[in-house]
Amino acid sequence: MTVETSRFAVGATLTHASASTALAAGLARIDAGATAVDCAPLGQFDSSALAVLLAWRRAARAKGRVLEILNVPADLASLAQVYGIDALFAAQHSSGPAGASMPL
């Protein structure tokens, strides 16, 4: 699998209204072998984004893989911290240097 097929990106919006569609699309990519999701395009989101990311991680884990979550927006990282789930993510924070790791 190439880098292009092992990584997929979320859309610009991931809210309650788009969560089901995003979940299904991400699960299909994980089924196809994706091991990373890029959150850089994410500009509008709510707590549904966290639920979708958690579901994707569980799906990858069920297949014996780890889903890397990349370029997490600072506000999403803060939301995860408020919900007490920031430690569940091994992600990258978009305000850090490209490729730098920071827990979500």
- Predicted confidence at residue 99, as pLDDT, reads 41
Residue 11, pLDDT > 90, answer yes
pLDDT in tens, 38-94: 999 999 999 999 999 999 999 999 999 999 999 999 999 999 999 999 887 654 444
- Predicted confidence at residue 96, as pLDDT, reads 44
Q: What average pLDDT does the segment 22-50 reach?
A: 97
* Domain 3-93 in this protein, CATH class: alpha beta
What kind and span of H or E run contains 52?
helix 47-62
pLDDT band at residue 4 using 50, 70 and 90 as cut-offs: low
- Predicted confidence at residue 88, as pLDDT, reads 72
Q: What average pLDDT does the segment 16-20 reach?
A: 98
pTM reported for the whole predicted model: 0.82
| Spatial distance between the Cα atoms of 13 and 30, rounded to a whole number of angstroms | 20
Residue boundaries of the structural domains of the chain: 3-93
Residue 2, pLDDT > 60, answer no
CA–CA distances in Å: residue 83 to residues 36, 37, 95, 101: 23, 21, 21, 21
